[in-house]
Structures are given as structure tokens and as C-alpha cells.
């Protein structure tokens, strides 16, 4: 792996790999993909968190696409995301000979502050700063950090939207690409996939009546990453082996968010 290349940040949504064998396929592709460039993986686990919350009698509630997290829910979120979901991914990656290291935002990766809408959202955090040097040291040692979206502030655990954490990591590392992988192939308007979006058009898109639910934080995260210094971002679904390579090459199959100058020149490559 060449550490002189700008890294790729891969964010895995909770439903991105629900198809049978998808996690194993991703791990196998990541094994070859990460040989050619540094990679950081950020993951959510919202679907699994909802299932565990319901088992424990906790209602899953959302506000503008973000999970409302009370003190009981943040404890379950920590157990599920930083525990079960994180270690399951690390185990799958390491079985494919990926040198994965499981961490959370709370483990010195990022400085987290209470969310600006904490009155509505509860124990939820915003990314204030990412320790890029810490992640770069891991990648220079040929490791693949696998980050759970649990942070800490003043001794309190906070749930962090994984899209926002991935955007903060991508911006801090000046990533060549942020891949927001979920169960949706990208932004659809009038049933048509939007393949390219100028980052300056995101504000207008967020006012569109068809842009609802989880697509809103994804578009916001993609825009934040690009404005913060990442070359590109893409919202896409896992489409079997070869997905990462195709998206990295800028081939059709998702919604790419870029600056107008990047769109005009066909996109950056490392």
C-alpha cells in the first residue's frame, strides 16, 4: 500500500450489506483495494440498533433523518455499534487478510461536542475535530481503521451520525473519495437516479420535497466532506464484487458530489 496517496474513506450504512454473503464479498474486495491506497472505514448500524432497542422496550424515534437518543438508548448504541457491529466487521475483514483495527470516535479519533440540535436529539454529538495524524499513523503502518460512530464529551458517551463522522474524517484526511455505501443506489428525483451533483447545489436539493429521511444527512455529509477538502463523495449501494473499484474510477452507479471545477475536468484520480 502506498501511503503517499490520498486515502479513501468508506462509510458503511446499517443496511448496506444485508444481502447474504455481502460482508464477505466486501471484505475480499477491500483486501485488494486497500493494497493500492490507504483506506479508513466508518460504520453505522442503525438497523441493528433499532432491533436491539425494540428487544429492550425502547422506541426508535427520528428527527429530520437523525436518531433521537436518550440516556438508555446511548448505552444500547454504544454496546451495539462500538461493540457487536464494530467487532463483527473487524473479524470479517481480518478473515480476508485486511489489517483492520477496530476503534470508535471516542478512542482519540475525534473531538465530539453536543449536537447543535441536542434539545430535539438528546445524547447526540457533532464532530468538532478529527485527529488526522493519529489515523495517518495507523495507515502508515498498513492498518485499516474501522471506526464506530460513538463519541465522548466531558465524560459522557454520545451517539454520532456515522455519515457526519465519515465526512469529518474525509475532510480532515483530504480524501480522494468518500464512499457513502447504504441500501440506496443514490439520489432519485422523479424516479431517475441523479448521477452528478455540484456541491453548491446541495442547499437547493435539501429543499426539494423528494429529498427526505436518511438521504438528507447523506447529502449534507457529502457536501461537508467536499467543502472541507475531500476531492469527491459518492452515495451508492453495494452492487457486488467490484463496487469499490468502479466507484473509485468514477463509473456510473451512484450519485457523485463534487465541486464544479472537478465536474468540468472529469474528476480527480490518485
- The catalytic residues are 11, 14, 46, 163, 218
Question: Cα 234–134–89 angle (5° rounding)?
Answer: 55
Q: Which of 162, 61, 28 is nearest to 104 (CA)?
A: 162
Q: In Å, what is the CA distance from 234 to each residue of 15, 67, 181, 243?
A: 17, 23, 8, 12
> Cβ(222)–Cβ(180) under 8 Å?
yes
Question: Is the CB of residue 116 less than 8 Å from the CB of residue 127?
Answer: no
Residue written as cell 458517551?
157
Q: Find how far residue 34's CA is from the centre of its chain.
A: 17
C-alpha 32/C-alpha 121 separation (Å) is: 39
251 C-beta neighbours (distance < 10 Å), count: 11
Amino acid at each position: 500500500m502506498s501511503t503517499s496517496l490520498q486515502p479513501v474513506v468508506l462509510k458503511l450504512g446499517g443496511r448496506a450489506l444485508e444481502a447474504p454473503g455481502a460482508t464477505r464479498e466486501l471484505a475480499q474486495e477491500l483486501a485488494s483495494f486497500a493494497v493500492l491506497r490507504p483506506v479508513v472505514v466508518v460504520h453505522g448500524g442503525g438497523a441493528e440498533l433499532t432491533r436491539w432497542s425494540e428487544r429492550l422496550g425502547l422506541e426508535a424515534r427520528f428527527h429530520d433523518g437523525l436518531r433521537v437518543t436518550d440516556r438508555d438508548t446511548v448505552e444500547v448504541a454504544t454496546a451495539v455499534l462500538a461493540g457487536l457491529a464494530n467487532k463483527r466487521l473487524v473479524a470479517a475483514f481480518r478473515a480476508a487478510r485486511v489489517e483492520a483495527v477496530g476503534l470508535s470516535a471516542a478512542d482519540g479519533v475525534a473531538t465530539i461536542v453536543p449536537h447543535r440540535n441536542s434539545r430535539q436529539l438528546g445524547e447526540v454529538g457533532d464532530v468538532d475535530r478529527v485527529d488526522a495524524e493519529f489515523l495517518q499513523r495507523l495507515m502508515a503502518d498498513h492498518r485499516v481503521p474501522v471506526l464506530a460512530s460513538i463519541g465522548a464529551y466531558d465524560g459522557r458517551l454520545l451517539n454520532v451520525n456515522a455519515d457526519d463522522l465519515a465526512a469529518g474524517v474525509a475532510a480532515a484526511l483530504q480524501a480522494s473519495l468518500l464512499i457513502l455505501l447504504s441500501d440506496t443506489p443514490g439520489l432519485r428525483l422523479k424516479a431517475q437516479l441523479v448521477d452528478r451533483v455540484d456541491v453548491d447545489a446541495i442547499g437547493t436539493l435539501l429543499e426539494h420535497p423528494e429529498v427526505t429521511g436518511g438521504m438528507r444527512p447523506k447529502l449534507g455529509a457529502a457536501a461537508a466532506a467536499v467543502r472541507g477538502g475531500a476531492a469527491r463523495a459518492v452515495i451508492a449501494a453495494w452492487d457486488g464484487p467490484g463496487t469499490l473499484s468502479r466507484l473509485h474510477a468514477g463509473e456510473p452507479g451512484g450519485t457523485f458530489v463534487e465541486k464544479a471545477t472537478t465536474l468540468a475536468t472529469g474528476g480527480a484520480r490518485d
